[in-house]
Amino acid sequence: MYNTMDMQLIKFQSHGDERGSLVAIEHGKEIPFDVKRIYYLYDTKTDVARGFHAHKKLKQILIAVNGSCTIILDDGKERKSVKLTNPDEGLFIDSFVWREMHDFSEDCTLLVLANSHYDEADYIRSYDKFLEMAKS
């Protein structure tokens, strides 16, 4: 059976040479959905945590393009933590997974690719409600 908590780190090919590094993400190749929205978190304070929600339908890929942060994933049965430190890896987060973002480094820029537009109705912001919905 498909498990939303299976290892979901996607390694991107980094094209590096003496000038530096470059990662390209192309439609239909590196990631398992069509990207409809891109946003990024930056200037995040080191002592704050963000997220604390799940999505009913939305799927996302998180990439720490600079710096690092720790992502906690929770499917209602299991909780795990993944530290993003590399601009050449993306963390896939499926729908119905509770996520929290912690320990942002001062220089962290967290890029997010999403498969649909912003829709507040897609958010589950109560952890208790999430647990209830995850059970059914």
Q: Interacting stretch for ligand TYD, rule CB under 6 A, among 23-31, 33-41, 56-64, 74-82?
A: 33-41
- Rounded CA-CA distance 20/28 in Å is 26
Q: How far is the CB of 17 from ligand TYD (least distance, A)?
A: 34
Subset of residues 103 to 132 that bind ligand TYD, contact rule: CB under 6 A = 118
Is 42 a binder of ligand TYD (CB under 6 A)?
A: no
Q: Which listed residue (15, 27, 53, 117) is catalytic? A: 53
Is 102 an interacting residue with respect to ligand TYD (CB under 6 A)? Answer: no
CA–CA gap between residue 126 and residue 123 (Å, rounded)? 9
Residue 39 or 42 having the CB closest to ligand TYD = 39
Cβ closer to ligand TYD: 4 or 50?
A: 50
The residues pairing with 6 across neighbouring beta strands, listed in sequence order, are none
Instruction: State yes or no: residue 100 binds ligand TYD (CB under 6 A).
Output: no
Burial environment of residue 2 by CB neighbours within 10 A (0 to 12, 13 to 18, 19 or more): exposed
End-to-end CA distance of the chain: 16
Q: Is 53 labeled as catalytic in the residue annotation?
A: yes
């997974």: which residue's tokens?
97
Any idea what DSSP says for residue 112?
E
**Which residues lie closer than 8 Å to 88 by C-beta, 6 or more apart?**
11, 12, 13, 14, 21, 23
Q: Does 50 bind ligand TYD (CB under 6 A)?
A: yes
Residue ranges that bind ligand TYD, judged by CB under 6 A: 37, 39, 41, 50-51, 118
